[in-house]
Amino acid sequence: MGTDGSGTMNPFDVFLFFFKISSMTFGGGIAILGMVRLEMHQRGVLSGEEVEEICNFSVVMPGPIAVSVAYMLGRRLAGFRGALCGILGAALPPFLIILLLAPFFLRYFHNPFVKKFFAGVLAAVAAMIAAMVARSVRKTLSLRRLNFIAYAAVIAMIALLGLHPLLALLAGFILQTAVFAGAGALEKNRTRGKGE
Amino acid sequence: MFRKLLALFLATSKVGVAAYGGGPSMIPLLKVEVVENYKWMNIEEFTDALAVGNALPGPIATKMTAVVGYKVAGALGAAVSVLGMILPSIILILALLGAVNAVKDQPRVVSMLRGLRPVVVAMLAYAAWDMIPGSMIGAMTWIIGCVALALMIVTKIHPALLIAAGAGVGIFLKL
């Protein structure tokens, strides 16, 4: 990932791809990642593993998730111009939506009809995010059982200790590296023990 | 006017660079700048803006900054705020990816980067856990949510359809 594009899509297609996802996806960055996975899977231009890797990276990069994923996927699919087109596609819809609708919304948001409409939208969005996150959690934990240690530690650090997400991220990453280095050393010792 | 725009740019870029894990982690940071430091909005206005941001499609961080910018300095303010949110993070991403690419073909680095996965998933899980109760107002919305969740797990219906259905059912709710 991150290497310059292999020309699998042209920059304008990348723009349209992100413009469409950004203007139609409710629920912010996490939901957008879900849509990116779904749409990329349907197009089949990149392997699922590669899309997964890009999506994971976009979460740990600074700034909005949608912008990070647009940058990285755009670059992978269509080079640097693809990256810029991706960002434009991701950022333009929220900007336009606010310009066009904010005056209207700030006035009518307390209208019961509008409120109920969005209550329904938000409930379905929450369900979608729950389903997506649960899927990633299950996949990650079943991949390697030891992953659970870093997973649980990061949640505890953010939820119980109130650590800044960036610190929790660094601590979790160090912990994960240490756990696997330790497991690797144990494994090596055991096989060496058998050999002698 | 120029001063206002500069302040908007500085405030949003500060939030953009410091926010990891997307919308949920940037909202408290944005609140500090908008409500406490610059006093562009009071807390009720900020909460309303957040509700609007949540209800409309698209990335939440970008929408929220656009709302704030629009309130402070109109369309130009919205443009400057969105730019402030995006530009510094793009520069940082460029630098970070450059550094990662330089070492990424060494096997040890590859396996370390794979190690990011449980950490990232944990951050997402916490963000979702934190966000979901706030999206539910009343028992009926929990029912809509649970039915949508069941449908999503059992069937392959496109999420957009379920959201449209949620909105359709929502209109007939008693809140």
CB contact under 8 A, B22 and A22: no
Calpha distance B40→B69 (Å, rounded): 9
Q: CB contacts < 8 Å between A and B, how many?
A: 325
Which residues of chain B are modeled with pLDDT < 50? none
- pLDDT given at position A5: 44
Q: At residue A134, what are phi and psi to the nearest 5 degrees?
A: -60, -40
- pLDDT given at position A85: 95
Contacts of A176 in chain B (CB under 8 A): 115-116, 118-119
Q: What is the pTM of this model?
A: 0.78
3-state secondary structure of A5: coil
Q: Which of residues 122-141 of B touch A (CB under 8 A)?
A: 122-129, 131-132, 135-138, 140-141
- pLDDT given at position A2: 41
Whether residue B154 lies within 8 A of chain A, CB to CB, comes out as no
Structure tokens at B7: 């302040």
Give the pLDDT confidence of A121-162 residue by residue, as tens digits: 888 888 888 888 888 888 888 888 888 898 999 889 888 888
Q: A3 pLDDT band (50/70/90 cuts)? A: very low
3-state secondary structure of B104: coil
Whether residue A69 lies within 8 A of chain B, CB to CB, comes out as no
Q: What's the burial of A78, exposed, middle or buried (CB within 10 Å: 0-12/13-18/19+)?
A: buried
Q: A83 pLDDT band (50/70/90 cuts)? A: very high
Inter-CA distances, A181 with A187, A192, B19, B109, B110, Å = 10, 16, 30, 12, 14
CB nearest to B93's CB, from A38, A71, A147: A71
Whether residue B4 lies within 8 A of chain A, CB to CB, comes out as no
Calpha distance A133→A139 (Å, rounded): 10
Q: CB neighbours of A34 closer than 8 A, spacing ≥ 6? A: A128, A129, A132, B159
Give the pLDDT confidence of A104-121 residue by residue, as tens digits: 776 777 788 888 888 888
Give the pLDDT confidence of A19-68 residue by residue, as tens digits: 999 988 887 888 888 889 888 988 888 888 888 888 888 887 878 888 88
Whether residue B62 lies within 8 A of chain A, CB to CB, comes out as yes
Q: Say whether pLDDT at A4 is over 50.
A: no
Q: CB neighbours of B129 closer than 8 A, spacing ≥ 6? A: A159
Contact B47, B134 (CB under 8 A): no
Per the prediction, chain A carries an average pLDDT of 83
Q: CB neighbours of A182 closer than 8 A, spacing ≥ 6? A: none
For residue A186, give how far its alpha carbon lies from the nearest alpha carbon of chain B (Å).
17
- pLDDT given at position B2: 86
- pLDDT given at position A195: 54
Calpha distance A73→A65 (Å, rounded): 12
Residue A113: other Cβ atoms inside 10 A: 9
- pLDDT given at position A97: 86
- pLDDT given at position A194: 60
User: Model ipTM?
Assistant: 0.76
Question: What is the pLDDT averaged over residues A3-12?
Answer: 68
> Would you list the DSSP string of B114-168?
HTHHHHHHHHHHHHHHHHHHHH--SHHHHHHHHHHHHHHHHS---HHHHHHHHHH
Q: What's the burial of A101, exposed, middle or buried (CB within 10 Å: 0-12/13-18/19+)?
A: middle
Structure tokens at B17: 């660079």
